[in-house]
A and B are shown apart, each in its own frame.
Chain A
Amino acid sequence: SAVISQKPSRDICQRGTSLTIQCQVDSQVTMMFWYRQQPGQSLTLIATANQGSEATYESGFVIDKFPISRPNLTFSTLTVSNMSPEDSSIYLCSVYSGTSGYEQYFGPGTRLTVT
């Protein structure tokens, strides 16, 4: 399975500021996904990031708030812009890997607290 790292692992930010989260994969992958997990909740897909094209956002998420870059097949960034306390969550990236091609593996997550 793919090995996925994220930076930073955690951060505490002030409202109104922005944070960029990095996701690095140890192999080339076509599709990368960004999820959010609010406190005590399950995971929700934010967007799908394909190399060479604009990210596709899910309902309730917009590019101005969560701009995504995908400069190559092993790297992606998610920016959380103009943060408010409601953005306090764990943000996780994921990729397809595994023998069947359908297993989705997740990075360790970035725990964001907005004060």
Chain B
Amino acid sequence: SQQGEEDPQALSIQEGENATMNCSYKTSINNLQWYRQNSGRGLVHLILIRSNEREKHSGRLRVTLDTSKKSSSLLITASRAADTASYFCATDGGDAGGTSYGKLTFGQGTILTVHP
């Protein structure tokens, strides 16, 4: 079964506004990764945050991780129309050599629409 739950399912904002998406998961993780998918095409890797990290930045992206609450958030600042896409979180529960290594469990995704 899917481990991750994301909210909101859909988010509609104006260009220049910030967009925040949340992800919750159920079991312990090694890391959590965020992806973007445009119109059912391939996934673009955005950022990875490890279980011992609390916050990470990459350009206009800010990711937080709270392992005590088993939740993560993705913040996109100063959004652009080109940010319109589906965003997925994915948890990786394994360490190298372990049986769960590399097996990502995806959330249901958030559809972000940024209006120009």
Contact = CB atoms under 8 A, between A and B. Distances in A.
B42 A104 contact: no
Given A43-B88, A45-B103, A102 B31 contact: yes
From DSSP, what is the main secondary structure of chain A's interface residues? strand
Given A42-B107, A44-B106, A106 B33 contact: no
Contact of B103 (A1, A48, A101, A106): A48
Contacts of A108: 41-42
Given A106-B42, A108-B42, A111-B40, A48 B102 contact: yes
A1 B88 contact: no
Contacts of B101: 31
Given A106-B42, A106-B43, A106-B45, A101 B109 contact: no
Contacts of B90: 43, 104
Contacts of B92: 102, 104
B107 A105 contact: no
A98 interface: yes
B71 interface: no
Interface in B72-111: 88, 90, 92, 96, 101-109
B100 to A, nearest CB: 10
28 contacts: A1-B45, A33-B102, A33-B104, A42-B106, A42-B108, A42-B109, A43-B88, A43-B104, A43-B106, A44-B2, A45-B104, A45-B105, A48-B103, A58-B103, A92-B42, A98-B48, A100-B48, A102-B30, A102-B31, A102-B48, A102-B50, A103-B33, A104-B45, A104-B104, A105-B45, A106-B42, A108-B41, A111-B40
A37 B42 CA distance: 10
Contacts of A96: 102
Nearest to A93: B42
Interface string A49-88: 0000000001000000000000000000000000000000
Contacts of B50: 100, 102
User: Across chains A and B, which 4 residue pairs bring their CB atoms closest together, nearest first?
Assistant: A108-B42, A106-B43, A42-B106, A43-B106
